[in-house]
Amino acid sequence: MIVRDGPAHHGFRTLALEGPWQGMEALKACEALSPELRSALEQAPTGACVGWGIPFDIEGFLPLYGEPATLRCAPARARWLIFQHTSDIRPLKPNRYGFVSPTRGWGQLGELAARYTVLYEDGSEEEIPIRRRHEIGAFQRPWGENCFQAVAHCKPRPQWPHHEQTALSWGVSQTRVDAADDGPWVNWLYAWNNPHPEKAIVGLRCEPGEGAVLLMAVSLGEVQEHPLRWRPRRKATLTLPEGLTFDPTLDEMGLLSQIRLDMGQIISAQWRPIYLTRAWGESYNNQLPVINRREIILEYTAHPEAAFHLWNGEQVPVSQVEEAQAVYLKPVPPATQRVLLRVVERGSRKPVAVKLHVHGQAGEYLAPVDRHRIPNPCWFEDYSVDFTHRGQHHCTYIPGETVINLPLGPVYLEVSKGFEIKPLRLVREVTPATKEIVIELDKVLPWRERGWVSADTHVHFLTPMSALLEGSAEGVNVVNLLASQWGELVTNVGDFDGKTTWGSVEAGGDGEYLVRVGTENRQHVLGHISLLGYEGRIIAPMTTGGPDESALGDPIEILLTEWARQCRKQGGLVILPHFPNPRAENAAAIVEGVVDGVEMTSWDDLYSGINPYSLSDWYRYLNNGYMVAAVGGTDKMTARTAVGTVRTYARLREGEPFTYRAWMEAIRRAETFVTYGPLMEMTVDGKPMGARIPMTSSGGTVDVAWEVASVTVPMSRIELIVNGEIRESLAIDPWAARGSFRVPVSRSSWIALLVRGHYTDKPEIIAAHSTPVMVEVEGSPFYAAADAVTILEQIEGALAYLDTVGTRAETRAYKRMRLILEGAHRRLHNRMHQMGHYHEHTPPHDHAAHHR
């Protein structure tokens, strides 16, 4: 396809090169290329294209593998040669546990993909190495794997907000209703109840009064009730005949194509969720219903004599549906019984915040009267206190009491509150006498009592009070709400004051659930960094360097490393979010020792667990003695992600009261583990996670004592990780296990615990991972050469980006940033040489000399 991202600049011209170019069809049949690349070929730019203002004439493809190819052109002189090229994917080769070591990342940073040699008329030559993530990227870019010296074929561009592209504003579209009673012209309908229906009408006389009137038409009707009055909403299930699939698109009048109402309106049509009924109590929290694409739950409001009009022209009276006499449509018992629902801890009368899901006999979601009946799962479109698991299983958060309209008969409830309280799925029978439903929860695991507090390090868009409700309902003691910038959009900045901790005793809360507003500062190539709990002024700019994180035209004026230092100066905590991506300057920040934690991130994924890719990247630093705590955060940006899906557990000092400050201290001490459900305890020779144990040069043996328990995800194995390798692996009871390992130590070693587990119908995942204990053997520094090279290469990449395609700030800022990165590079580089490691490398100052 022809891709012209704008007009071409007159300073460029295309170069005609003669050579073995190939067409698209030949390439599609080429076995040396991945099927992914071949199937994406149609999307590749071809023909007379423009990229970044530069014209390109793409007449074919030159696949490079195996044999070299030579291209010829008429003599031409130019200051720049601009290559438009891409590369095939290079799959990683993880070991059987999913770990990759050493890892250069998905993008295979620094790998030589090709070599181009420029031939001159005089017979001389100039060689250009084409390295991955420097001069070339892959045809599909995994998020966080940007090029340091090359850019994508299309230049960045501004985007209009939704309401400027369509007639309907984004905000109004969220209401999902349109009164349709205004606009450039309105006629009015009046229904006159004729007192003499038996008499024939023979005419109508119309006389003017004050001002003008336009009569447009008159019609006659025979219905019993007022033709313009509809009844309250009802629900029905629609089962389409075999061979027909449901089309959910609405036309410009808001109507479906396959089913419509004449005197009424269909409010919503959603796939019918089919839940387990008899086994509901045994199914697990958040377990998804089955969706049958031929079954729909319709919600409607209509005149009692209205009729549905079906796809085949058939008309079905609403009354026939409600009397259960229709073929395709069956009535759903209406939710007419108003009930007070209360949730308490067993033995207490005090309501507690929980996550709640309720459905009726047809699987229809029943929301409290003040909650969304249809949560919106899209980015930045709904930050209400709801959770919609994959848009199929809807839940809401309640402060312990709520009013809800329920149908008579059985209703199915799901109630949960984090990882220490047993989640419940239960059935209650609603009768006309039911006025209140009370549900009692059992606290099963005493981790909080032992001084552990849970946290989500990464939540966006919620208001602080909504975050407080969601945190308490998910059993998350600390929610870090992060203000940030997304292009021209800034979020939560009005909630940042650099001092308030919502929910704290000083702020009028009970002190058990806290919310603190920090910032996530971001650069699309260099990386993201979360600055938590700092005091004073907001650390801005929060984004730099242009799209997709910051506004077009923003220069790179500050580094992650500098943001981190500023945050620490203001008393805050520094976290590398969704580690390791974007995978670039975070290497320098860790080497400089300004990072407190690396974040394992879930987003909306409940079933993939802690990613071995993240762990592999973290292990590289641990192997080289850079101790950084593991933390868990969701990066919640939509109602599809629940706060605390993955979370951090951190232990307060014994007897220390829980405050936000005490929590920050626990992270700094690195006494943490990350989990999707299972809880853990681990000591090494009696020392907690995050501790350092000195040992004499003769080495020795350490005792690793552990205990694990779960009330959510069933556990399957516990594993002992020593210096990034699995040393022990034991099958365990799904709900509780304890034991110990004796580990001989001859060189400096880090020791951590990993728990695997899974729901019965899902694959095994890494469900929890501890921060290690570092055993430091005298005279044996932590050092892993292959990993150190990959860390160094990341810093070199960051430098190359500053020097080449990164939007340049004024010279002073550019030089300052360069010095910082060179400093980190030198620090690691010197260490490598001290360890006697010889390696091929480009000194960082070379980039600047070449590319200025």
Answer yes or no: are the C-beta atoms of 502 and 465 closer than 8 Å. yes
Answer yes or no: are the C-beta atoms of 779 and 824 closer than 8 Å. no
CA–CA dist 227, 189 (Å, integer): 10
Answer yes or no: are the C-beta atoms of 11 and 51 closer than 8 Å. no
CB nearer Zn ion, residue 235 or residue 522? 522
The residue range among 53-61, 514-522, 615-623, 749-757 that interacts with Zn ion, by the rule CB under 5 A, is 514-522
What are the residues whose beta carbons fall under 8 Å from the beta carbon of 479, sequence distance 6 or more? 455, 456, 459, 467, 468, 470, 471, 513, 514, 515, 516, 643
Classify residue 642 by its DSSP letter: P
Answer yes or no: are the C-beta atoms of 403 and 338 closer than 8 Å. yes
CB nearer Zn ion, residue 386 or residue 635? 635
Site for Zn ion in 120-179 (CB under 5 A): none
CA–CA dist 283, 267 (Å, integer): 31
CA–CA dist 469, 459 (Å, integer): 13
CB nearer Zn ion, residue 520 or residue 585? 520
Tokens of 459: 């939540």
Q: Is residue 635 close enough to count as binding Zn ion by CB under 5 A?
A: yes
Number of residues that bind Zn ion (CB under 5 A): 4
CA–CA dist 806, 150 (Å, integer): 10
CB nearer Zn ion, residue 113 or residue 542? 542
Answer yes or no: are the C-beta atoms of 530 and 578 closer than 8 Å. no
- To Zn ion, the closest distance from the beta carbon of 551 in angstroms equals 17
For residue 536, count other CB atoms closer than 10 A to its CB: 13
CB nearer Zn ion, residue 460 or residue 769? 460
CB nearer Zn ion, residue 541 or residue 577? 577
- To Zn ion, the closest distance from the beta carbon of 635 in angstroms equals 4
Site for Zn ion in 338-367 (CB under 5 A): none
Among 299, 364, 470, 520, binds Zn ion (CB under 5 A): 520
Please give the backbone phi and psi of residue 802, each rounded to the nearest 5 degrees, phi first. -55, -40
Find tokens 């005091």 and name the residue: 535
What are the residues whose beta carbons fall under 8 Å from the beta carbon of 204, sequence distance 6 or more? 218
- To Zn ion, the closest distance from the beta carbon of 588 in angstroms equals 18
CB nearer Zn ion, residue 299 or residue 617? 617
The residue range among 305-313, 498-506, 577-585, 689-697 that interacts with Zn ion, by the rule CB under 5 A, is 577-585
- To Zn ion, the closest distance from the beta carbon of 527 in angstroms equals 9
- The residue of the chain with the least Cβ separation from Zn ion equals 528
CB nearer Zn ion, residue 291 or residue 493? 493
CB nearer Zn ion, residue 407 or residue 577? 577
The residue range among 312-320, 466-474, 528-536, 726-734 that interacts with Zn ion, by the rule CB under 5 A, is 528-536
- To Zn ion, the closest distance from the beta carbon of 618 in angstroms equals 17
The residue range among 15-23, 380-388, 572-580, 739-747 that interacts with Zn ion, by the rule CB under 5 A, is 572-580
- To Zn ion, the closest distance from the beta carbon of 710 in angstroms equals 28
836 in the Ramachandran plot: left (φ > 0), alpha (ψ -120 to 50) or beta? left
Answer yes or no: are the C-beta atoms of 832 and 791 closer than 8 Å. no
- What are the angstrom distances between the C-alpha of 201 and each of 196, 216, 445? 10, 18, 80
Q: Is residue 549 close enough to count as binding Zn ion by CB under 5 A?
A: no
CB nearer Zn ion, residue 360 or residue 644? 644
The residue range among 125-133, 387-395, 573-581, 694-702 that interacts with Zn ion, by the rule CB under 5 A, is 573-581
CA–CA dist 294, 836 (Å, integer): 68
- To Zn ion, the closest distance from the beta carbon of 541 in angstroms equals 15
- To Zn ion, the closest distance from the beta carbon of 475 in angstroms equals 22
- To Zn ion, the closest distance from the beta carbon of 522 in angstroms equals 6
Site string for Zn ion, 801-830 (x = CB under 5 A): ------------------------------
Please give the backbone phi and psi of residue 464, each rounded to the nearest 5 degrees, phi first. -55, -40
- To Zn ion, the closest distance from the beta carbon of 559 in angstroms equals 16
Answer yes or no: are the C-beta atoms of 395 and 384 closer than 8 Å. no
CB nearer Zn ion, residue 481 or residue 591? 481
CB nearer Zn ion, residue 396 or residue 543? 543
Among 393, 417, 516, 528, binds Zn ion (CB under 5 A): 528
* 3-state DSSP assignment of residue 164: helix
Longest CA pairwise span in the chain (Å): 115
The residue range among 34-42, 513-521, 743-751, 756-764 that interacts with Zn ion, by the rule CB under 5 A, is 513-521
- To Zn ion, the closest distance from the beta carbon of 459 in angstroms equals 8
Tokens of 829: 């580089």
The residue range among 71-79, 350-358, 571-579, 747-755 that interacts with Zn ion, by the rule CB under 5 A, is 571-579
Task: Please give the helix or strand (H or E) that residue 460 lies within, else none.
Answer: none
CA–CA dist 376, 381 (Å, integer): 7
Q: Is residue 583 close enough to count as binding Zn ion by CB under 5 A?
A: no
* Residue ranges that bind Zn ion, judged by CB under 5 A: 520, 528, 577, 635
